[in-house]
Amino acid sequence: MKSTSGDSTTINISESRNKTVAKGETPYVRIQAAHPMHDQKGGWKKGISIFDFILRLGATAAALGAAIAMGSSEQTLPFFTQFFQFQASYDDLPTFMFFVIGMGIVGAYLVLSLPFSIVTIVRPHAVAPRLLLLIFDTLALTLNTSCAASAAAIVYLAHNGNSDANWLAICQQFGDFCQQSSGAVVSAFVAVVIFVILILLSASALRKV
Amino acid sequence: MKAGGAVDATDKEASKPIPIPKVRVSRVLSVLDFTLRVVAALGTLASAIAMGTSRETLPFTAQFVRFRARYKDLPTLTFFVIANSIVCVYLVLSLPLSFVHIIWTAAKNSRIVLIISDTVMMGLLTAGASAAAAIVYLAHYGNSSTNWFAFCRQFNSFCERISGSLIGSFVAITVLVLLIIMSSVAISRR
């Protein structure tokens, strides 16, 4: 009979011969043998978990930076003309509001996922935390990409305008506002790339080999 | 104390419930994966075609408004059509690999390749669909702060066409998210 628990394998040997052992008692001999797979691959999974944690810190900085940069973008022109507004802020465009709220949610999720990442470092072979992180990372990736792409479409419009729809390029007037919102969009896309790498790491570390 | 440990073992195992065989759950997941991939391919194809054939010409001419609207007039909608076409082609090409997973449920590395490519394609599709959604929102409501005019007032059927074509794309995004999650669950079960 062989039972496997954790890292050791116990082999029970029952004595068939009658020795000085009392009747009904069976001596057990425990042979401690480390599970060969765990020793070899534990370090590899732990390395992935540490890299995952570092990347997660980077993604948190990128996501929160994007939200703050867009949220604090506001510019008031010192002059005003007949046809153009002289003040631009992120809440003038609903897409930018969606961007700020969405990146805030993604940043908050990343902060909350840091403990789970630490758990995967401490216990490299546990499947549940990694699977949970992968599922929520996928959802967060979707939200992040959605916010970043829609804000990018508006920023593109602000830079170039559209002659067919008679949409003017507001970047000509609001240079600082444009720069800050463009930088926020770039930071959000950096977070998207980091999320894709995080998902790949979690998927490759989920294998039982 | 019983003589011999073997008797203890069989008693314990007899009282445990019989688990569902791992192969059956993996096979169900693989079949579901294949079906959802077909659904997503159809969704992206429908979106690309609906947006690509959107065209409206107004019967009259107004002073400041163009009288013809096509998807090519807005670069973001062009990006939407291109992204949907790429993802549709990718999904059709990944159908054989998904079919192989139904037969060979023990595959590990090919599932990881599928997760990687699914994630990248999902990012591309979400980017295209969200950017197009932002433009369609502007087309419906305009923006008073930036003096951007809502052209849906003039181009009704064009507007309806581009709004409806977003639906297939967003359905495909949801399906891709489900595919990634299912593939990762299938990997973790082996």
Residue A50 lies in a domain: no
Residue A28 confidence (pLDDT): 64
Q: For residue B26, how many other CB atoms are within 10 A of its CB?
A: 20
Residue B66 confidence (pLDDT): 63
Q: What are B72-128's pLDDT values in tens digits?
A: 889 999 999 999 999 999 999 999 999 998 888 778 889 999 999 999 999 999 999
Q: Does B184 sit within 8 Å of A196, measured CB to CB?
A: no
Q: What percentage of chain A reaches a pLDDT higher than 70? A: 76
Question: Domains of chain B, with CATH numbers?
Answer: 23-54+69-189 (1.20.120)
Q: Does B120 sit within 8 Å of A135, measured CB to CB?
A: no
B187 vs A25, A84, A203: nearest CB: A203
Q: Does B151 sit within 8 Å of A1, measured CB to CB?
A: no
- When pLDDT is averaged across residues A191-197 and rounded to a whole number, the result is 96
Cβ(A35)–Cβ(A7) under 8 Å?
yes
Specify the residue for token string 């691959």. Answer: A41
Token pair in block for residue A49: 């978990």
Integer angstrom CA distances of residue B182 from A117, A197, B33, B43: 21, 18, 7, 19
> What are the start-end ranges of the H helices in A123-174?
128-160
Cβ(B44)–Cβ(B172) under 8 Å?
yes
CA distance A194 to chain B (A): 12
Question: How far is C-alpha B91 from the chain's CA centre?
Answer: 9
A207 vs B123, B173, B187: nearest CB: B187
Partners of residue A92 in chain B, C-beta under 8 Å? 143, 145-146
Q: What are A136-153's pLDDT values in tens digits?
A: 999 999 999 999 999 999
Partners of residue A146 in chain B, C-beta under 8 Å? 126, 129-130
B134 vs A84, A131, A154: nearest CB: A154
Question: How far is C-alpha A43 from the chain's CA centre?
Answer: 22
Cβ(A169)–Cβ(A84) under 8 Å?
no
Q: Which amino acid is at B129?
A: A
Complex ipTM, two decimals?
A: 0.84
Token pair in block for residue A182: 């463009």
Q: What range defines the domain where residue A137 resides?
A: 63-72+88-208
Integer angstrom CA distances of residue A129 from A154, B151, B181: 37, 49, 14
Residue A12 lies in a domain: no
**Number of domain units in chain A:** 1
DSSP string covering A166-208, please? Answer: TB--GGGT-HHHHHHHHHHHHHHHHHHHHHHHHHHHHHHHT--
Residue A189 lies in a domain: yes
Q: Does A153 sit within 8 Å of B132, measured CB to CB?
A: yes
Residue A127 lies in a domain: yes
Partners of residue A158 in chain B, C-beta under 8 Å? 146
Burial of B123 (0-12, 13-18, 19+ CB in 10 A): buried
Q: What is the mean pLDDT of chain A?
A: 84
Picking from A186, A177, A104, A194, the residue whose alpha carbon sits closest to that of residue A149 is A186
Residue A173 lies in a domain: yes
Specify the residue for token string 């490299």. Answer: A124
CA distance B175 to chain A (A): 12
Residue A19 lies in a domain: no
Interface test mutation site (partner B, options A134, A137, A196, max chain B beta carbons within 10 A)? A134
Residue A40 lies in a domain: no
Q: Does A131 sit within 8 Å of B127, measured CB to CB?
A: no
CA pair distance A184, B137, nearest whole angstrom? 21
Residue A80 lies in a domain: no
Q: What are A25-50's pLDDT values in tens digits?
A: 666 665 655 555 555 557 888 999 99
A170 vs B133, B146, B149: nearest CB: B146
**Which residues does chain B have with pLDDT short of 50?**
2-9
List B70's β-bridge partners, or say none: B55
CA pair distance A53, A107, nearest whole angstrom? 14
List B69's β-bridge partners, or say none: B56
CA pair distance A13, A61, nearest whole angstrom? 58
Q: Does A164 sit within 8 Å of B69, measured CB to CB?
A: yes
Picking from B22, B19, B83, B34, the residue whose alpha carbon sits closest to that of residue B183 is B34
Q: What angle separates helix A128-160 from helix A175-205, to the nearest 10 degrees?
A: 160
Partners of residue B10 in chain A, C-beta under 8 Å? none
Partners of residue A197 in chain B, C-beta under 8 Å? none
Q: Does A192 sit within 8 Å of B146, measured CB to CB?
A: no
Q: Does A150 sit within 8 Å of B126, measured CB to CB?
A: no
